[in-house]
A = this chain, B = another copy of it.
Amino acid sequence: MSSPADDPLPPHPLSAGRSRPPRARRSLSREAIVTQALAILDAEGLDAVSMRRVADALGTGPASLYAHVANKEELLELLIDRVMSVVVVPPPDPERWQEQIKQLMRDGRDALAAHRDIARANMGVVPIGPNAIRIAEGMLAILRTAGVPKRVAALAADTLSLYIVAHAYEGTLWEKRLEGEGAHYAERLHDYFSSLPPDRFPHLSSMAAELIGDTDDGEERFEFGLDILVAGVDAAAKRAR
């Protein structure tokens, strides 16, 4: 998960005697800090990504990071943008706009899901990094090219982004419960719903199976939301025209 281009290299042997740049080697950089934060995120999860842990992994103290990032919030914004860099946006095709929107949303969800509970950090942030705006531009391009009015497209982009992040976050929570409380977590939840008094909770008690679903129905739940949202945007666009 390391990004070799970001690692500081040892001095190149052929440049040994040559004139050095005026200031000594910069052992830290934004890139190196974000790369190290990503490694910790992937290995141990978001809670392990502290200024102290990142600094420690870089062989320095937490105060040193503040020469390169304003604070932890900025570090997390940079980390999110790094994670989002893998999402590619397609050239808009008005004939297939609904499928293009869905695929972009799946890709965004996958990018977040590939890095533990990074989605939790994304919840608390107005994403404004280079990749965030690149993806937002791509989503707006698909909607506008398909004839969705400006205001509807803007509202839709907002709602769709919210759904991606919220669903990715919900998925990590589910995983956390499963690993934390053993594989019987879903089973215990199912039993709890089933055991509710049917006179007061007729629906909850009889719908335990549907509410819990399989252990691995996150994909179906995500697609259900995708269908609903994209169909809703289509309807809103037609209404607005």
Contact = CB atoms under 8 A, between A and B. Distances in A.
Nearest to A192: B128
Interface string A221-241: 100110111011101100000
B227 A232 contact: yes
Contacts of A213: 154
A154 B207 CA distance: 8
A86 interface: no
A133 B124 CA distance: 27
Interface stretch (A4-12, A57-65, A196-204): A196-204
Contacts of A229: 228-229, 232
Contacts of A232: 227-229, 231-232
B159 A221 contact: yes
This chain: how many copies in the complex?
2
A230 to B, nearest CB: 8
Given A144-B203, A203-B137, A224-B155, A123 B123 contact: yes
A53 interface: no
Interface residues of A, number: 54
Per DSSP, chain A at the interface is helix
A162 B170 contact: yes
Contact of A207 (B153, B167, B224): B153
> Which one of A151, A201, A203 has the highest number of Cβ atoms from chain B below 10 Å of its Cβ?
A203
Given A154-B210, A231-B232, 13 more contacts: A123-B166, A124-B173, A126-B173, A126-B177, A137-B202, A140-B203, A140-B207, A150-B210, A154-B213, A155-B225, A166-B166, A228-B228, A228-B232
19 contacts: A125-B173, A126-B177, A128-B192, A133-B196, A136-B204, A137-B202, A137-B203, A140-B204, A140-B207, A141-B203, A154-B213, A155-B224, A156-B228, A158-B221, A159-B228, A162-B167, A162-B170, A227-B232, A231-B232
